[in-house]
Amino acid sequence: MNDEIRLMPLGEALDRARKLAGELEHRFGGELAAATTEIELRAAHAKVKSGFKAVFDAMKGGRKDLMQSAGELVNASRDRLSTTFQTRLLEISDATTLADLRARPFDLTLPARLPFGSSRGHAHPILQVRDELLEIFRDLGFQSVSGPEIELEKNNFTKLAFPPDHPATDMQDTFWLGPGLLLRTHTSNVQAREMSTRKPPMAIVSAGAVYRRDDDVTHSPMFHQLECFLVDEHVSFAELKGVLSAFAARLFGPGTAVRFRPSYFPFVEPGAEVDVGCPFCSDTDTTRAACRVCKGTGWIEIGGSGMIHPDVFRQCGLDPDQLTGFAFGMGIDRMAMIKYGIPNIRTMFENDPRFLAQF
Ligand code: DAH
């Protein structure tokens, strides 16, 4: 029937085109408005295109004036539908987003619910112990400084009077990063650095991560140490014992015993291991024999110590005839294990929230 348009006289053809366009506009306008999903809307829009194509086809080949006037009319209807389509597309997309948000099974405004009963995050147990130790030494008058974990061989070994072939420098024990460069194996590197750059007197404490090629239940390739040292004129072993006794009293309770056992470290002379009296058991109440922390010995080893070796002073550009000093180092992870009764060092680095939430 549309074929007739191109054969009609102009007035009649215009009426016919207007009528057809009006019908299409009415029908498709309704369909576009009724669409509730983007798929439905696009399907309706596809019909608009084919419906109008049929009308244009019916005019094609007719007179030029007919094509122009009727074409404008039909185009106007099609453009209005196009606008309806665009508007509806936005409405549907907004409605979809809103429905999606409303349909979520959780309330975005609720405070976070954490697993394992802990309501807030907190510092790792090792950092808690580190801070506790640093605070004790700061209270005793030591200044806390930090040192790098990537270190020169010079500061980690040479200036601390390690002979070049010392076993600690072996590939088996040290993570070498390149010639002369390594991951520090102890926090004693801070001694070399500070003594090379400061003027005595100096009282320094430093704590941080250190690295060794070690991996079993009591050793981790990354662990933590604290280093403390004092350099001045007339510093004696008595001061070393005094500082360690004050430290042990603060950490484990008043009257905690401190003892030294002779030992060797290249950077001290004399050198000694430091033990503290086990705070978890006692002879008098017979808990000692079964104590798992000190294994019945009554003593817990906490670190190494000694009087700074004259060679270390020389290597750092200081005069060993004028100065003396003490130094000691202790394992922080070991302190944390003792304090919290943790049997395996690795649990501290696995970041299992069931473990961490206990501290
Ligand atoms: N740096 C030693 C280690 O990692 C610990 C140590 C021993 C530090 C004796 C000292 C010291 O300052 O005097 O095993």
pLDDT digits (tens, 9 = 90+) for 202-261: 999 999 999 999 888 778 899 999 999 999 999 999 999 999 999 999 998 999 999 999
Judge if the beta carbon of residue 273 lies within 6 A of ligand 1. no
The C-alpha atoms of residue 172 and residue 185 are separated, in whole angstroms, by: 12
Residues 98-149 pLDDT 10s: 988 888 777 778 877 766 665 678 899 999 999 999 999 999 999 999 999 9
328 CA to centre of ligand 1 in angstroms: 6
223 lines ligand 1 (CB under 6 A): no
Whether the predicted pLDDT of 293 surpasses 90? no
Q: Is the CB of 212 under 6 A from ligand 1?
A: no
Confidence of residue 339 (pLDDT cuts 50, 70, 90): confident
To the question of pTM greater than 0.85 for the whole model, the response is no
Residue the block writes with tokens 């002779």: 262
Tokens of 73: 């009319």
Cβ proximity of 278 and 291 under 8 Å: yes
The pLDDT value recorded for residue 55 is: 85
Q: Is the CB of 188 under 6 A from ligand 1?
A: yes
268 lines ligand 1 (CB under 6 A): yes
How far are the Cα atoms of 81, 92, 133, 181 from residue 185, in angstroms, in the given order?
77, 64, 20, 12
Average pLDDT of every residue of the chain: 91
Give me the domains of the chain, ranges plus CATH numbers. Answer: 2-103 (no CATH), 125-356 (3.30.930.10)
CB–CB of 317/160 below 8 Å? no
Q: How far is the CA of 269 from the centre of ligand 1 (A)?
A: 12
Q: Is 157 touching ligand 1 by the criterion CB < 6 Å?
A: no
Which one of 71-80, 82-91, 339-348 scores highest in mean pLDDT? 82-91
**How confident is the model over 163-177, as a mean pLDDT?**
85
Among 182, 186, 313, say which to mutate for ligand 1: greatest number of ligand atoms within 8 Å of CB. Answer: 186
Range in 246-250, 289-293, 302-306 the model is least confident about = 289-293
Whether ligand 1 lies within 6 angstroms of the CB of 227 is answered as: yes
- Lowest-pLDDT choice from 83-92, 98-107, 301-310, 311-320: 98-107
